[in-house]
Amino acid sequence: MSYPQPGEPAPAFEMQADDGRLFSRDSLLGQRYVLYFYPKDDTPGCTAQACGLRDAWDAVSATGVEIFGVSPDTVKSHGKFRDKYQLRHPLLSDEGHRTAEAYGTWVEKSYLGRTYKGTERTTFVIGPGGQVEHVFPRVKATEHVDRLLEVLSS
């Protein structure tokens, strides 16, 4: 499966945030937002990525774009992760990885000679009309916020 491309409609989703709120593509129509898919709460790369957003929060929030982190972790895990690192953006639980599959980020991975399915670190900017505006495939955790701000600020 491939990613939805710029100009294409963003795949539908509905996920619960770490604070219990429900978000869906339909509930976000009319506003520009970001879905960034990451593998796992409280791991080194994912923590660097999330804390990069936190540390640049003034610049991120100045864009007026809502940011959502998405992983297959539970709502409870997301809450602990968000509290531990004082993250400022909602984390959405994709426990059944349906949304990751729809966005093409649920892929075969390998580590130490073992293959498994998991989330690929990829970010999507979604426009107010529900279309994909930009895709950052396999983005590096430490470069994520800078690349995102370049697009959101333009």
Beta strands 22-24 and 33-37 are: unpaired
Active site residues: 46
d(CA 100, CA 106): 5
Q: Which amino acid, residue 69?
A: G
Environment class of 54 (CB within 10 Å of its CB; exposed 0-12, middle 13-18, buried 19+): middle
Q: With contact defined as beta carbons under 8 Å apart, do 138 and 150 qualify?
A: no
